[in-house]
Structure 1
Amino acid sequence: MSVGSNGQMLAANLPSVEAELNYLKAGQGRPVSYTFEPPSGTPWVTGELEARRVTIRDGRPLVALNELTLDRSGFTQISHRSVLADFSQDAAIRDIYYREAEALLRDVTGAEKIVVFDHTLRDSAQGSRRTADLREPVRRVHNDQTFVSAPRRVRDHLPPEEAEERLKNRFAIVNLWRPLATVERLPLALCDARSISSNDLVPSDLVYPDKVGETWSFTWNPEHRWYWFPRLRPDEALLLKIYDSLEQGVARYTAHTAFEDPTGSQEAPPRRSIELRALVFWPAGKPPQGK
């Protein structure tokens, strides 16, 4: 897949910032990350990172041109105001926000069925990797699922017979990312899937108390094209393609990371956000959406 000529010409003239992103240093082997306090003497995360200075462009104009979409670039930005004003109660998130997200994702993707399977609240001031209910922003380039772990999610969250039937047809995993206040610090950078090579991907273990998942870390590639959405508001959201089973014609994954915006104020409020991950199922023969 390639960027359209109009998109290429516009991208070169978009507002941009220069910032450092943390990539996995090449030759590190298979990194391991823990989602809970690891055993004594075991590091939370393995794999040395290296900071690379990149250009990150404002993606809003390209969204308006339909150039940055889930199936083209692997991510997009949408306007959407949640009916939930208070995200402090887990029960309200699961009851109200999950149902709202299901309807939104069904509308955006044209899918037949949506299954929301988890969410994460993040706060750059109070969040910590030690607190499962409030995490800190992740400041390394990564993707939440791989070609191995994504089908596992289907089997984890559907009855066995239905899971096997669903796995015969196209499905995806999408991250719905929403700020809880206007983002002035640690915004999210997203990499255009069309600029990623399979050689950039490094399978990485994500250790839970009861299982070991698999994510992707990324090594640096000068071809990567990065975007962000300045001062994203709570009535806006990002959609990230974490995985797509369709092998041809669409973005199958992307990469993302929080980063220090050099134009932001150090006195700005902390970044607060919620991300929600969902399985997206299409019926047999459903064509790609958003191309």
Structure 2
Amino acid sequence: MSAAKLSERLATLQYLTRPSAGKRTGRNIGVHANVATDLEAVHVPIPVKMADYRRVAAPPRLIVDRFELRRWQPAQPDFADPASVRTFYAAAEAFVCAAVGAARVHVFDHTLRTSGVSSLNAADGASAAGAVLRVHGDYTADSAPTRLAQLAAAGAITVEPAPSRFAFVNVWRSVDQQQPVLSHPLALCRPRSIDYARDTWSYHMHFEDRVGRNLAIEAKAGHEWGYYPRMTADEALLFFAFDSSAADGDVGVVHTAFDDPAIDGAGVPRRSVELRTVALWD
């Protein structure tokens, strides 16, 4: 089958709709007193063309498309052991630093995910959250600098000397050493196909101690979606969640987990980790 035919295969993704009058798009996270009552998150299933990025004529590249699949074979950490996690973080920092050419990289947290888990957030780094089946970007143009300042103030990262450029770069990989990813793989949309200024808006996440914002996006026919089927634990997806040097309003790669109609993953939950890093250029 040709690459063109593969890219014509349909998959269903969950897009958010614009908020209704007097409402904001978002959700409250956790049980706390800082509950917002004006948040809503209405999803609609949209069929899209889904490419197999392993077989397209021009595979995505980090420098052009803001994401890329690469080989990465770090030692598998014990996520319940802080010392093991620190070693894993150090390997990830070196991996991202070499890939993007930054002066320094800091991993500031990670999330384990297992498809079928109901909660989308896990605060302790050892328990698993569920797969995020919602088309989204991780930051807005305003929330990324705010998040950088919060991380610096909390001592999670060091921003001195002041960088000339910064980027949030995610590393996504399977942690299943026996099975490839069969359920809820990660799909990514090429930024060139999105009009960020017209078609995106803020998704508000109300935590107990802060309000985060990531990106909601309106469904459009021209979005170029694809994924890497059957990812294994020796592969990693790198993608820019935000880059202060990006032009044309491109604030980061829009992505989502989805049900893959080409693979029967029933009974084999996806087990993955996403590492969140900040890359700094002096």
- TM-score scaled to structure 2, two decimals? 0.85
Aligned counterparts of 1:201 and 1:35: Cα–Cα separation in 2: 22
| Residues 53 and 60 in structure 2, CA contact (< 8 A), matched pair in contact too | yes
Aligned counterparts of 1:38 and 1:21: Cα–Cα separation in 2: 31
Aligned to 1:71: 63
The alpha carbon displacement at 1:245 in A equals: 0.6
| Residues 17 and 262 in structure 1, CA contact (< 8 A), matched pair in contact too | no
| Residues 22 and 50 in structure 1, CA contact (< 8 A), matched pair in contact too | yes
Residues 231-283 of structure 1 show CA distances to partners (whole Å, capped at 9, x for unaligned) of 00000010111001114389541100010111222534101100011111112
CA 61–70 in structure 1, closer or farther in 2 if over 3 Å, else same: same
- TM-score scaled to structure 1, two decimals? 0.83
Aligned to 2:99: 108
Residues 1:91 and 2:82 are matched in the alignment = yes
Aligned counterparts of 2:253 and 2:169: Cα–Cα separation in 1: 11
Residues 85-137 of structure 1 show CA distances to partners (whole Å, capped at 9, x for unaligned) of x4442514531111000010111111101011111000113462375332100
Amino acid at match of 2:258: F
CA 163–60 in structure 1, closer or farther in 2 if over 3 Å, else same: same
Aligned counterparts of 1:116 and 1:40: Cα–Cα separation in 2: 28
Match of 2:141 among 147, 155, 174: 147
Aligned counterparts of 1:184 and 1:202: Cα–Cα separation in 2: 31
SS across alignment from 1:264 = coil
Aligned counterparts of 1:250 and 1:107: Cα–Cα separation in 2: 26
Unaligned 5+ segments in structure 2 are none
| Residues 52 and 228 in structure 2, CA contact (< 8 A), matched pair in contact too | yes
Residues 1:173 and 2:168 are matched in the alignment = yes
Count of equivalent residues: 269
Aligned to 1:20: 12
Residues 40-92 of structure 1 show CA distances to partners (whole Å, capped at 9, x for unaligned) of 99789722111100111011235x85x412231121101111212x4442514
Residues 1:212 and 2:211 are matched in the alignment = yes
Aligned to 2:115: 124
Residues 140-183 of structure 1 show CA distances to partners (whole Å, capped at 9, x for unaligned) of 101111111111222123369x748535x111101100111210
CA 226–45 in structure 1, closer or farther in 2 if over 3 Å, else same: farther
The alpha carbon displacement at 1:24 in A equals: 0.9
| Residues 70 and 251 in structure 1, CA contact (< 8 A), matched pair in contact too | no
Unaligned 5+ segments in structure 1 are 1-9, 284-291
SS across alignment from 1:142 = coil
Aligned to 1:194: 192
SS across alignment from 1:61 = coil
Aligned to 1:262: 261
Aligned to 1:47: 41
Amino acid at match of 2:43: L
| Residues 188 and 256 in structure 1, CA contact (< 8 A), matched pair in contact too | yes
